[in-house]
A and B are shown apart, each in its own frame.
Chain A
Amino acid sequence: MSTFAPPRLRLESLAVWRRNALVWRRLMTASLLMHFGEPFLYLLGIGYGLGRFVGELDGMSYFTFLASGFIAWSAMNVASMESMWSVYTRMVPQQTYEAILATPAEVDDIVFGELLWCGTKSLLSGTAILAVAAILGAVSDWTALLAIPVIFLTGVSFAAPGLIVTAYARGYEYFYFYMTLIMTPMFIMCGVFYPVSSLPGPIQSVVQLLPLTHAVEIIRPIVVGQPITDLGLHLAALGVFGLVTTWIATVLFRRRLIQ
């Protein structure tokens, strides 16, 4: 099989996913506390605290605006962390992948298993924030649950570039470059805290190209119960971004793991 061949999705990837899920189950209490506790504090502190000064934004309270943006951001953040720190831990110090590659499972199964797992973690975290937002009164309708598959897609799409960074990483410090140079700018600029339309024109056109913008543009209206503009475009942007980065990540992992 050529190194550059398209990734192949097979059932063995579910075994890799299941391994991670079983590890997570053991640490579930701490993980759930973090998933619920952190957004709860952030939303209360920033949403209510800052929201009093901001008032309404795009036809919703600032609390609701922020909560819906946080869901998208958290999907990106959780998937990125998992695909960098945790995947690196499994790849290098634990040599988990070397053990897996001694079985009929292959590099593609590892990549897909990890992507699915990162998506699952995003889903857990995003859903937790959605629940917190609902408890605090930011969600008006059950249709907000339609955000869940989008959260999953967002997680998978952001896990793939994380895997690309990991495929090159020689240590954990590599991930700070990606966090500081890529993730933090998106967190600040892609419409989590304020509408993209309030940015200067040239910057807006750059921000429109960033994947987190598209995730926010889909998730926010679903959560708030507003009509989504350009749903197809945003989904396609996220999907294509995810597919291309998945292909690249698979090629890089083949090169890293099979030498």
Chain B
Amino acid sequence: MRWIPSQISRNGVTAIFQTESTLTSGAIDQTHASPVVHCRDIRKEFDSITAVAGLSFDIQPRTCFGLLGPNGAGKTTTLRMLLGQSPRSGGVLEVFGHDINHGQRAIRQRTGIVPQADNLDPDFTVRENLSIYGSYFRLDPTVMDERIPRLLDMVELAPRADDRISTLSGGMKRRLTLARALINDPQLLVLDEPTTGLDPQAKHMIWSLIHQMKRAGKTVLLTTHYMEEAERLCDELIVIDEGSLLAQGSPPELIEKYCESDVLEIRGEVEQVQIDSLPEAWRTEQAGDSLYLYANDAQGLGQFSQNLTDMVCLHRRSGLEDVFLRLTGRALRG
């Protein structure tokens, strides 16, 4: 278990949702349960631009599924199609077994969405933001009276319940958006870059809340371009770029498949490194003033670094970030 900030789990969110969520009752064999999201060759074209060029994947219940890709890869468009907010140009797309074109309202009734950009209602207080949002689901006021205080406790905003949105920090707003997405006790939680722009404390708090959601039996769909986030949270992920699938698997599988075990990161006068003299099995990549040496040879890399006296060297295990950079290239994206 990774580090979780103190206090967050004190209210036991698991208990809240176990009693309310239908999906969590009873043990579900993941391999035989029907997927929460099922898509085959979905495509999206805007006029002449192809935003999504045929994606296929399934999201199994009670897992966290990551959708990774550089800016402009088609992540948000894919999410919007999944939520019925953007009609697909082609392919099969089912959520909870409903075709998205016909079952949109039924799907959204069971889905919670944390959008990338803050769209809390600035005219209302923290508490009112939850109750107004609940009214769009036509939730019973007695259900909301009982649910709202627990959600506010869970995201540690109870003391701010009557404050206006403009007085909240970025991290608080994001926590409130997460609480808002839970007002209908969703089975599927969709998070579009949930930690972008947050400081480390706020980021860890959001991660811990997502872990709690998973433990409470919810299916989580997450887009991110933070690889640390994907490694911590995702059971399975896909990497997309230019609307197409580049790779799919669990984080360890992807690292194993696309990357050598170790990497030596060298910064400084990297032109002086004799690349020609390196063993053939080593792979090199250069980005900015950094040189990356990849190899399944931790000892070799370690010895090599000792000879580079006037450069900064960092020897580490390969991670998802290395996979991501290898798959999507190092060019900057707009």
Residue in B122, B135, B136 whose beta carbon sits within 8 Å of that of A94 in the complex:
B122
Residue in B closest to A257 when the chains form the complex, CB atoms: B85
In this assembly, does A22 line the interface, its C-beta being within 8 Å of a C-beta of chain B?
yes
With known contacts A15-B136, A22-B124, A23-B124, A104–B119 Cβ distance under 8 A: no
Interface flag for B258 (CB, 8 Å): no
**Residue B304 lies at the interface, judged by CB distance under 8 Å to chain A:** no
Interface residues of A in 88-111 (CB under 8 A from B): 94-96, 98-106
Q: How far is the CA of A98 from the CA of B108 in the complex (A)?
A: 13
How distant is A20 from chain B, measured CB to nearest CB, in Å? 9
Of the candidates B85, B115, B133, the one whose C-beta lies within 8 Å of that of A258 is B85
Q: Counting CB contacts under 8 A, is B32 at the interface?
A: no
**A94 lies within 8 A of B105 (CB):** no
Partner of A11, one of B111, B120, B128, B138: B138
B132 is contacted by which of A22, A98, A102, A258 (Cβ under 8 Å)?
Answer: A22
The answer, yes or no, to whether B123 is at the interface (CB within 8 Å) is yes
- The answer, yes or no, to whether B117 is at the interface (CB within 8 Å) is yes
B86 at the interface (CB under 8 A from A): yes
Q: Which residues of B contact A100 (CB under 8 A)?
A: 136
- Which residues between 57 and 113 of chain B lie within 8 Å of chain A, taking CB atoms? 83, 85-87, 104-106, 108-109, 111, 113
**Given B46, B108, B121, B122, which contacts A102 in the complex, CB threshold below 8 Å?**
B108
A63-117 residues at the B interface, CB under 8 angstroms:
94-96, 98-106
Known contacts A102-B108, A106-B105, A23 near B136 by CB under 8 Å: no
Residue of B nearest to A106 (CB): B105
A94 to chain B: closest residue by CB = B122
Q: Are A94 and B119 in contact (CB under 8 A)?
A: yes
Given contacts A99-B115, A258-B87, contact A104 B137 (CB under 8 A): yes
State whether A19 touches B115 (Cβ < 8 A): no
In angstroms, Cα B124 to Cα A19, docked, is 9
Q: Which residue of B lies closest to A98 (CB)?
A: B119
Minimum Cβ distance to chain B for residue A21 (Å): 11
Q: Are A19 and B121 in contact (CB under 8 A)?
A: yes
Q: Which of B46, B119, B123, B184 contacts A259 (CB 8 A)?
A: B46
- Which residues of A are found within 8 Å of B123, using beta-carbon distances? 22-23, 26
Point out the residues of chain B lying under 8 angstroms from A102, CB to CB.
83, 85, 108, 111, 113, 115, 181
| Smallest beta-carbon distance A165→chain B, Å | 23
Instruction: Give min CB distance, A189 to chain B, whole Å.
Output: 37
Bound-state CA distance A116–B106 (Å) is 25
B137 touches A103 (CB 8 A): yes
Q: Is B119 in contact with A95, judged by CB distance below 8 angstroms?
A: yes
A259-B86 contact, Cβ under 8 Å, with A94-B121, A104-B109? yes
Cα separation A159 to B118 with both chains bound (whole Å): 28
B46 to chain A, nearest CB (A): 7
Task: Name which of A15, A98, A104, A259 has the most chain B CB atoms within 10 A of its CB.
Answer: A104
Instruction: List residues of chain A with CB within 8 A of the CB of B106.
Output: 104
Task: Say whether B135 contacts A15, CB under 8 Å.
Answer: yes
Query: What string of 1s and 0s marks CB contacts (under 8 Å) between A245-259 and chain B?
Result: 000000000000011
Interchain CB contact under 8 A, A15 and B138 = yes
List residues of chain A with CB under 8 Å of any chain B CB: 11-12, 15-16, 18-19, 22-23, 26, 94-96, 98-106, 258-259
| B contacts, CB < 8 Å to A | 46, 83, 85-87, 104-106, 108-109, 111, 113, 115, 117-124, 128, 132-133, 135-138, 181, 184
4 interchain residue pairs of minimum CB distance? A95-B119, A103-B136, A102-B113, A23-B123
Q: List 12 A-B contacts (CB under 8 A).
A: A16-B136, A22-B124, A22-B132, A95-B118, A99-B119, A100-B136, A102-B115, A103-B184, A104-B109, A104-B136, A106-B104, A259-B86
Q: With A94-B119, A102-B113, A103-B184 given, can you name 9 additional A-B contacts, CB distance below 8 Å?
A: A12-B136, A15-B132, A16-B136, A99-B121, A101-B85, A102-B111, A102-B115, A103-B133, A103-B136
